């Protein structure tokens, strides 16, 4: 999954022959999971039609301040467009438009939107060789970069004039890659590796039966996505679950039993910066596992159980510089029990949730948690979606890491 997933991307198109590449650019952004809107200069419609871009983006395309085709004038609010965008990319960016951007000229909806945008702005120059090398164009580059805009350098190749040299707009794939890398490099967890456990464990009774619990794994997967969206490389060790993720920064390690999860976690722990153990690991397992399916003969049946290894505690015993986070699902004396686990297992943070809270626990899309830090700070949170809880957790971890 691309870092652009669910991002609002505003694509600005100006009047250059490279505008034909904009259709491919829209498709690549959509493929990456982004929401795309397009704003055009009036003259750019001579190179590519709004209909093509509207069809690909699944959104109306704006090229003027007012749409009056049906005698009912509709104002296209450039301020709303600028505020909607998480990323604004102008491709192609002609010499004319860049000069206007550099000097605050505002004579079309694209330029008005640029001046209203609060998000990062990228521009991909496209023009002929002599125009690209001209001192006035270089001055526009310098000014735009000094304003905080980010230039995607033009490539070398055959130009519309037949000349060979710089000025060819970067290819759509390279533009997408440039933006993805730039966003990743600015994320607070870039360069960090986070180990996360999720889901239940299944402890075999015989080849067809097991002891398990109702954990869906959703909370752990949401935490993995939240961490990856902040730039972390994530190792996700998960028990049996229907949850899936396609995020490019998440490496899923499926396991079944508590022992398998213990082994997998310890294999990676020494190389991670943060470990978040949100899995609902079985506390007990059958002491003896039958090699054949147990037949139903007697009216009662007993299974002797033995304790599984305490994965969280074992990590607390060997941790060095890792930031260790545990989860505590409690039904009584919640705060007292959670604080006890925080200390006894040598944690930096524990996440408490109670089955007494409506909307929290297994099999639901919401959760209500309390964060307890190693300094005994108690931070209560409202009932939220598990995705929002995951984001809150990552912000709390960042806060403690920066302290």
Which residue numbers are catalytic? 213
Compute the distance between CA of residue 346 and CA of residue 270 in angstroms, rounded to an integer: 16
Dihedrals phi, psi of 2, to nearest 5 degrees: -75, 150
Q: Which two structure tokens, joined as six digits, stand for 187?
A: 């994320």
**Residue 137, number of CB atoms within 10 A of its CB:** 19
Q: b/e string for 103-118 if b means 16 or more Cβ within 10 A? A: eeebebbbbbbbebbe
Q: Are strands 305-307 and 284-286 parallel, antiparallel or unpaired?
A: antiparallel
Burial class of residue 171, CB neighbours in 10 A (0-12, 13-18, 19+) = middle
Residue 287, φ and ψ in degrees, nearest 5: -65, -35
Six token digits for residue 159: 């130009």
Q: Report the distance separating Cα 201 and Cα 209, nearest Å.
A: 13
Strands (E), 54-199: 61-62, 66-67, 74-75, 87-93, 121-125, 150-151, 155-158, 164-168, 193-198
CB neighbours of residue 189 within 10 Å:
24
């Amino acid at each position: 999954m691309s870092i652009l997933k669910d991002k609002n991307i505003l694509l600005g198109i100006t009047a250059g022959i490279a505008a034909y590449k904009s259709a491919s650019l829209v498709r690549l952004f959509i493929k990456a999971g982004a929401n795309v809107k397009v704003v055009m200069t009036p003259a750019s419609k001579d190179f590519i039609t709004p209909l093509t871009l509207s069809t690909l983006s699944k959104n109306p395309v704006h090229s003027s301040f007012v749409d009056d085709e049906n005698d009912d004038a509709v104002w296209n609010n450039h301020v709303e467009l600028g505020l909607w965008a998480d990323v604004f990319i102008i491709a192609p960016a002609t010499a004319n438009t860049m000069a206007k951007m550099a000097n605050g000229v505002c004579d079309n909806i694209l330029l008005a939107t640029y001046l209203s945008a609060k998000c990062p702005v990228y521009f991909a120059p496209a023009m002929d060789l002599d125009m690209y090398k001209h001192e006035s164009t270089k001055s526009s580059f310098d000014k735009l970069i000094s304003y905080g805009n980010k230039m995607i350098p033009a490539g070398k190749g055959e130009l519309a004039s037949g000349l060979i040299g710089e000025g060819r707009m970067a290819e759509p794939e390279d533009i997408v890659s440039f933006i993805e890398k730039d966003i990743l490099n600015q994320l607070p967890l870039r360069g960090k590796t986070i180990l996360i456990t999720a889901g239940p464990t299944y402890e075999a009774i015989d080849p067809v039966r097991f002891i398990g619990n109702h954990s869906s794994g959703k909370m752990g997967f949401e935490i993995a996505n939240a961490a990856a969206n902040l730039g972390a490389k994530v190792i996700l060790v998960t028990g049996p679950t229907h949850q899936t993720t396609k995020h490019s920064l998440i490496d899923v390690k499926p396991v079944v039993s508590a022992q398998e999860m213990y082994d997998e976690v310890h294999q990676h722990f020494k190389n991670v910066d943060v470990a978040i153990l949100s899995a609902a690991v079985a506390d007990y397992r059958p002491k003896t596992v039958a090699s054949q399916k147990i037949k139903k003969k007697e009216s009662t049946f007993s299974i002797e159980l033995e304790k599984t290894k305490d994965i969280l505690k074992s990590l607390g015993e060997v941790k060095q510089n890792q930031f260790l986070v545990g989860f505590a699902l409690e039904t009584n004396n919640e705060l007292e029990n959670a604080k006890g686990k925080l200390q006894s297992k040598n944690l930096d943070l524990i996440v408490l949730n109670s089955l007494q809270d409506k909307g929290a626990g297994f099999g639901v899309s919401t959760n209500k948690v309390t964060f307890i830090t190693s300094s005994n700070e108690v931070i209560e949170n409202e009932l939220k979606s598990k995705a929002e809880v995951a984001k809150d957790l990552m912000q709390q971890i960042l806060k403690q890491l920066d302290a």
